[in-house]
Amino acid sequence: MNIFSDSEVNRTPLPTPIEVWLSQANMEITCTVVLENESTSTLEVNSLSMRGAQREITGYLIAHGYTPVGRWEVEAGSDNGYGGKDTVETSRRFKLTVFEFERAR
């Protein structure tokens, strides 16, 4: 269960703000949502690239009434073997739009 299904089942408002962390290890990307109280939830990611996962999760959260706050921040990188760096961990904050927040009350 994730924060969205939990909110529907328990009829509770969606949390705001949230922080989303994407991590990549061995071609698998995981998404962890961190709430204000430091509890976490996971969301499924289908994308195979970090950039694709950022777009996928941003679109998913916008569809659920969230607005991005700032840009995706690179939290960790690794040597890609060609003299450059690959992003392996990134984060971004989101908040509910005013409309969604008012509707949830």
Per-residue model confidence as pLDDT tens digits over 81-104? 555 455 589 999 999 986 554 555
Return the pLDDT at 98. 64
CA distance 39 to 46: 23
104 located within any domain = no
103 located within any domain = no
Kindly state the greatest CA–CA separation across the chain: 51
16 located within any domain = yes
The low-confidence residues of the chain, meaning pLDDT below 70, are 76-87, 98-105
The residue range of the domain holding 61 is: 3-98
Among candidate residues 48, 25, 47, 45, the one with its CA nearest the CA of residue 33 = 45
Domain count, the chain: 1
